[in-house]
A = this chain, B = another copy of it.
Amino acid sequence: MFDILRQYIEQMTASALPEEEVQLIRNSFTEKKLRRKQFLLHEGTVCKYMSFVVKGAMRLYSIDEKGNEHVVRFGLEGWWMSDRESFTMLTPSRYNIDAIEDCDLLIITNEALTRLRHASPAMTCLSLVLDERHYFATQKRIESSISYTAEEKVLHLMNTYPQFLQRLPQNMVASYLGLTPETLSRIRKQIQAK
C-alpha cells in the first residue's frame, strides 16, 4: 500500500527518495480501510487526518438547513482528502467526508505532517507542488461556476475529469456541479444526441 504513495511522491517531486526518507515517511502514515458509506470526518468535529487515497472514492460535502448535501470535492486514487482548514487550524469542521466506495487510505495527523515537512525535503516540495496545482484547478472551477451554462459545465467536466461521470453516482456529480440530478440527466441525454 505504501509503495503507491512512494511512487506518487517520487513522480510529483520528480526525484528519487533516499531510503532514509522513505522510512521516515512510511512511519508517519497509518493504513486505514473504510467501507462504503463510512465516515472519515463528521460535521462539528475536528478533522484529525489528512488522507491519501490509495484505492476507492470519497467525497467532502456540506449539508444545508434544508438537509441538502453539497459535494465540494471528490477524492479518487492519488488524491488527498481532508478539510484542510479544520485539519490545520484544529477547528470544528462544517463538512463531512465519507467513502463512496470501499477505500484504502494512508492517513497522517497534523502533528506528524508538520514534523515530516521539516524532516523531509521531498514532503516540503510535494506540499508546494500540490498547493500550486490546487490553486490552478480551483481558479478554473470558480471561473466555470460563474461563467458557464449548465451544459457548458457538464462538457467542461467531461474534458477535465471524465472519470467522474463514469464512476461516481450522478446525483453526487450533479451536486458537485451545482445542478440538480434531473438537470444533469437531461443534459447528458442532450449531449449524447449529438
Contacts and interface: CB of A to CB of B under 8 A. Distances in A.
A176 interface: yes
A104 B146 CA distance: 29
A135 B132 contact: no
B131 A135 contact: yes
Given A84-B136, A136-B85, A142 B142 contact: yes
Given A138-B142, A139-B72, A147 B178 contact: yes
Interface string A58-71: 00001010001011
Interface string A106-145: 0000000000000000000001100110111011011101
Interface string A137-162: 01101110111000000000000000
B64 A147 contact: yes
A157 to B, nearest CB: 13
Contact of A146 (B132, B143, B176): B176
Nearest to A140: B85
In the complex, the count of this chain's copies comes to 2
Contacts of A62: 143, 147
A177 interface: yes
Nearest to A70: B147
Contacts of A72: 139, 142-143, 146
Contacts of A147: 62, 64, 68, 70, 178
A88 interface: yes
Given A64-B147, A146-B178, 13 more contacts: A62-B143, A70-B143, A70-B146, A72-B139, A73-B139, A84-B136, A84-B139, A127-B128, A131-B132, A134-B135, A145-B146, A145-B178, A146-B175
